[in-house]
A and B are shown apart, each in its own frame.
Chain A
Amino acid sequence: MLRDITLGQFFPGNSPLHRMDPRVKILWTLFFIVLLFFINNFWGFLIYGLFMAFVIGISDIRPRMIFAGLRPILYLLIFTALLNIFLTGGENVIFKLWFLKPTWEGLYSAGIMAFRLIFLVLGSSMLTFTTSPIVLTDGIEHLMMPFSKIGLPAHEIAMMMSIAIRFIPTILEETDKIMKAQTARGADFESGNILRRAKAMVPLLIPLFISAFRRADELAMAMECRCYHGGKGRTRLHVLHLSQVDYYSVPVFMLLLLGVILTRVFL
């Protein structure tokens, strides 16, 4: 049951999106998200929708997988939409029920908000769907590199992230094992109220923490034995370099920008 948790699921493949340099992909994702907040009408979202359809089309990832990623935010979507509909003040009241006064303006901003959220999730999940965690951290490390001059530990942050990713399955496996061991000794993780269940977690968490620290100790020693001494003088097996896809992506995103500007100005 614990195995099912995945973080930033990655689907291996060889589409143009997969072959894109992670640095470029991260930057475009940020661009995509920032631009999202400049959209103020539905024509803009139509353009975003067309763009998204294009991206999904060339990504080799089944659309079902992508929309499954939206399910976790469904409640958030409904909740924010309701808040917007009922709490946005306005002239054009749709109907009156006791003290509730949904307005057309509210409905409009609820729609805008919902679309923003949906595209935000779609855009960022396209990044994690097509980039393996290790490549992603590599890209982040490179993008943070300029800030290491002002004291940002870029290499260390990236190393910590990739080790965390590496140990997620190991620790989950161990949690499963400890849970079974404690269940065999009569521990009960499933019944009772929240407080009781939280209390039941203590005998699970303590061994887990102890073992995680022991692992960290051993890993640090193994890394030292393999001559690890921070990012200084370290080279990489895979060197990031820009390829054709990265250059082709520029006009595509410029087209998106142009589209959004046009909708703002004229519609």
Chain B
Amino acid sequence: MIRIENASYIYPESGHAAVCGVNLTIQKGEFVTILGHNGSGKSTLAKLLNGVLLPTEGKVFVCDMDTALEENIFPIRSRVGMVFQNPDNQIVATVVEEDVAFGPENLGLPSEEIRERVDAALRAVDMYAYRKHAPHLLSGGQKQRVAIAGIIAMKPSCIVLDEPTAMLDPVGRKEVMDTVLRLNREEEITVVLITHFMQEAALSDRVIVTENGHIIDEGTPTEVLTKREKLQKARLDSPLATELLENLAEAGMPVDTKIIDVEACVNSICTALGKE
């Protein structure tokens, strides 16, 4: 789906290399999370994925199309949609359905097809009932779902979400994550999620850790998130469940520390207690 070959990006204003020599392949239908501390180059990497930024070195291919070629830019952007952190700054129109229609309108589709896509997209994010509402009256989670609907109305095969839940409360965060998961599982849309929340990373198929523009670790959530030293080096925290189990293990309790989710953690502690 997306192939990054030895790509680097240097911001011309600051001369800072935000991405250095990254190699990465994202498969169709995959759910990939990118983790990294502030300024580690996650957003820059995301912007390379749909040609908002062009790599200063190396290549990025989307469905075998080079992002550096002018004529590929619209086909690529309609295949790789991007959702940003602040929902207020990506909603264009004053009515929810008009905003969702913005992308398909830009693609020059006939209005009946736009109508169909808008309705389907709003249903997919469970916002159909709000189609006539004014976006500024919605909650943060609802706005972000409208923004996601605006992207899926373009029928992309991949959605890149750059910290979509960073400005939301726990309820909004759950709404957005449920929507993203459903799109990935049911509609088979490839998802690239950038986040600071370990619980969100735990839901994905593959986790990538960035540090200073490099990819320093990669693997399934359980593999990556249970390596405490490596996470510390990337200035990230272990998931709470893992941290608890590690502390218990250090204290001499026979628990499995290769666990990231709460339920498995509870089970592990219960069996350990049962054994004692």
Residues of A within 8 A of B (CB): 132-134, 162-163, 165-166, 169-170, 173, 215, 218-219, 221-229, 233-239
What are the residues of chain A within 8 A of B82 when measuring CB–CB? 222, 225
Give the complex CA separation of A237 and B134 in angstroms: 17
Determine the chain B residues whose CB is within 8 A of the CB of A235 once the complex forms.
105, 108-111, 114
A11 to B223, CA, bound (A): 57
CB distance from B128 to the nearest CB of A (A): 15
CB-nearest residue of chain B to A222: B90
Which residues of B are found within 8 Å of A238, using beta-carbon distances? 98, 111
Would A225 and B111 be within 8 Å (CB), given that A170-B136, A218-B86, A234-B106 are in contact? Answer: no
Smallest beta-carbon distance B63→chain A, Å: 16
B151 CB within 8 Å of chain A: yes
Contact of A237 among B90, B115, B154 (CB under 8 A): B115
**In the complex, what's the smallest C-beta–C-beta distance from A202 to chain B, in angstroms?**
25
On whether the beta carbons of B93 and A162 are closer than 8 Å, the reply is: yes
Q: How far, in Å, is A47 (CB) from chain B's closest CB?
A: 37
A261 to chain B, nearest CB (A): 40
Residues of B within 8 A of A170 (CB): 88, 136
**B63-103 interface code vs A (CB 8 A; 1 in, 0 out):** 00000000000100110011010101111111101100111
**Residue B141 CB within 8 A of the other chain:** no
Query: In the complex the two chains form, is B95's CB within 8 Å of A134's CB?
Result: yes
Give bound CA distance, A228 to B90, whole Å. 12
Indicate whether A225 sits within 8 Å of B52 (C-beta atoms), given known contacts A170-B136, A236-B111, A237-B115.
yes
Contact A218 B90 (CB under 8 A): yes
Q: Are B114 and A227 in contact (CB under 8 A)?
A: no
A165 and B99 CA atoms in complex are apart in Å by 13
How far apart are A241's CB and chain B's nearest CB, in angstroms?
A: 11
- Distance in Å: Cβ of A160 to nearest Cβ of chain B: 12
